[in-house]
Chains A and B, each alone.
Chain A
Amino acid sequence: MEKNVALKDTTLFFGFAAVILLLPILLEPIGANYPDLLQKIAIFGIFAIGFNILFGLTGYLSFGHAAFIGIGSYMTLWSFKLLTMNVVPAIMFSVILAGVFAYIIGFVSLRRSGIYFSILTLAFAQMCYSLAYSVLTPITNGETGLQTRAIRKSSETSLLDGDIRIIDQAFGVQELGVPTTNFFGMAMSGYTGFYFCAVLLIVCFFIAQRITRSNFGIMLKAIKSNQNRLNYTGIHTRPYLITAFVISGMYAGLAGSLMAATDPIAGAERMQWTASGEVVLMTILGGVGTLVGPVLGAGIIKYAEQKVSSWNEGILESFFSFLPETLQHFMANLGVLFVGEGWHTTLGLLFMIIVIFLPGGIMEGIRRIGAKFSRKKPEADTNAAAPQPAE
């Protein structure tokens, strides 16, 4: 069994890595092979994997993870503005800062469980969001959002409007206008940006996989299964939960940092609780507690968002053109609720449908279909009947 699991894990990891790296080719037939979307898929994949370490393994539903996205984004921008346009220090600082914040928020929130925990995390995220718009405006630039600027000419200029970039200046980097973010000279745009995010996604997947299979991971699963019993087994569950919370907060910080690295602007709307809700949806759509599910969910949602938002009434009219005219108009009028600006309606509906009919998400669906097929082959029957160690 041990060898089996190890082999399955290795296969899964390399399979996953291959799929991610080949995404530009694989997604060509559905017209999703442009870097902007691919970057988003990779970034939200990281976010969802991290969220799943908390929600999927321990069952603690956080409604405040978007706060860490925001923290990561702002930190990254400040690293760009003050130090260098290189993304490496920015990412490191962001992940660390998100970890620190996650420790503080987790330390407090994890004193309660169940719905109280959800509300506490929600309250913290809303605090971050409100503060970013009000008192912290000198740091966040309020509603305008924080942006990179050209090097300031005099120290009179506010740091919000002019950057200093100490490290870049020390190395005598010549700037024409506002420079682009880079990874040791390689501009973080287009496919470079995607591959940078993709490699990080694969690393994150690897870490998550190791965590899931580790002693630590099994303790987290035991917490989800029966926390009370675990206490009587001699395990102090709090430090385990806090660690899981910090890890998932750092994942979110990394995702936020990458958002800012590929598109150097940070606004508070990223911290809104609907953004926290979105990552919950990605995770449950793909499959809570599975490794691949959250990434799959992130991919589907981001792809659907791009596609569905770009549709309009005209496209719908032509889509339904095979119908009689009155029916065509009716369908188009109905459909317009769900496309373009109405994308969020689709999102909400999708949310409900998944929770109602497929709480295990797509991975569960695949497993069910797989089980159905393998049942037809009698020799595979015993394998299908014996539950595998948690996927």
Chain B
Amino acid sequence: MSAAEEMKNEQSRQFERGTANTVLHIDDVHKSFAGLHALSDVDLDVREGETHAIIGPNGAGKSTLLNVCVGRLKPDRGAVVFDGEVLTGKSPHEINQLGVARVFQTPEVFPELTVLENVMVPALSKRDGHFRLNPFKNFFREKAIREEAESVLENVGLQAQLSGLASTMSRGDKRRLELAMGLIQHPRLLLLDEPTAGMARHDTNATIDLLKKIKEGGMTKVIIEHDMHVVFSLADRISVLAGGRIIAQGTPEEIKVDPRVKEAYLGEEQV
């Protein structure tokens, strides 16, 4: 084991002892693209059970941060620690198997599969792990999984399209399907990348209600969102990212009155 890895592990152990209720710990993450600093000195703690919103103007590095968390991007420096495990350097499927699910901003569904199958696949992954050789286990006899998938799809309001192909869905419906694919895994941490972007107002409200409902179930969520209505109805705590740095952190009330946030958003209409 290299010294750096050892240090990371030591860090994660300390972290485990010290702040037991912190689920996700982003530790001094740097990421630059061709000299451009997308993220610098990002430190962030997400506590067990909370809904943590990350907001910030366009190009602030929100999506980059999320991509670092799920293993899509490798940070230049620093580490992401989830529940005592260093995520940095792990591949996406390993990170998911640890209990981190991601809901994509642009819907990434399985277009050639039916809506029901789209949701059953992540459920199987949750139950059977990252690989299970079962070429003779009949998919259509997975009763328990299917019933669960049906109920999740009902929650997001897609119960009418179970056997339709995902490719034929509207964009808004695909977003709801995305959400269902994340929810069915009952992840310990759900990362939501603008879950309501492109939704009509009443759909947005339905999604907010749904996410509130899950919150009562104790799932930890990190949510990136532009829509301040969504952020302030859901978030327990908010981190504000601007120019690749965290400039403020606190409860919605604190953030509302924070002058630095106002400054960062100067010119943006939401505040």
Q: Which A residues are closer than 8 A to B by beta carbons? A: 1-2, 5-6, 210-211, 213-219, 221-222, 224-226, 228-237, 239-240, 243, 247, 386-390
Contacts and interface: CB of A to CB of B under 8 A. Distances in A.
Which secondary structure dominates chain A's binding surface?
Answer: helix
Given A234-B185, A243-B133, A213 B165 contact: no
B131 A224 contact: no
Contacts, number: 127
Contacts of A219: 121, 124
B33 interface: no
A217 B139 contact: yes
8 contacts: A211-B136, A214-B136, A215-B128, A232-B102, A234-B101, A386-B163, A387-B165, A387-B168
Interface stretch (B42-50, B110-118, B247-255): B110-118
Nearest to B163: A386
Contacts of B63: none
A144 to B, nearest CB: 40
A229 B110 CA distance: 8
A234 B139 contact: no
Interface of B: 70, 91-93, 96-97, 101-102, 104, 108-114, 117, 120-122, 124-126, 128-143, 146, 163-165, 168, 181, 185
B249 to A, nearest CB: 27
Nearest to B185: A234
Nearest to A243: B133
A91 B22 CA distance: 59
A234 B112 contact: no
A232 B106 CA distance: 14
A292 to B, nearest CB: 19
Contacts of B133: 216, 239, 243
A236 B96 CA distance: 10
A211 B138 CA distance: 8
Contacts of B114: 387, 389-390
Among B113, B133, B135, the one with the most A-chain Cβ atoms within 10 Å of its Cβ is B135
A1 B163 contact: yes
Nearest to A389: B114
A281 B269 CA distance: 58
Nearest to B166: A225
A388 B122 CA distance: 21
Contacts of A232: 70, 92-93, 96, 102, 104, 108
B142 A215 contact: yes
Contacts of B181: 233
B93 A234 contact: yes
B142 A387 contact: no
Contact of B138 (A210, A222, A388): A210
Nearest to A210: B136
Contacts of A237: 93
Contacts of B143: 2
B131 A236 contact: yes
A210 B135 contact: yes
B91 A231 contact: yes
Given A226-B110, A240-B131, A387-B163, A234 B140 contact: no
Nearest to B135: A216
A222 B165 CA distance: 13
A217 B113 CA distance: 12
Contact of A233 (B125, B134, B168): B125
A387 B135 CA distance: 24
A211 B136 CA distance: 6
A247 B133 CA distance: 12
Given A218-B139, A389-B163, 4 more contacts: A218-B124, A224-B112, A232-B96, A234-B122
A237 B128 CA distance: 14
Contacts of B142: 215
B135 A233 contact: no
Given A224-B112, A226-B111, A387-B163, A236 B93 contact: yes
A234 B97 contact: yes
A5 B140 contact: yes
A5 B168 CA distance: 22
Given A233-B96, A235-B131, A387-B165, A226 B185 contact: no
Contact of A225 (B91, B111, B168): B111
Contacts of A390: 112-114
B120 A218 contact: yes
A224 to B, nearest CB: 7
Q: Which 4 A-B pairs have the closest CB atoms?
A: A234-B96, A225-B110, A236-B130, A234-B125
Contacts of A5: 140
Contacts of B102: 232
A196 to B, nearest CB: 24
A213 B140 contact: yes
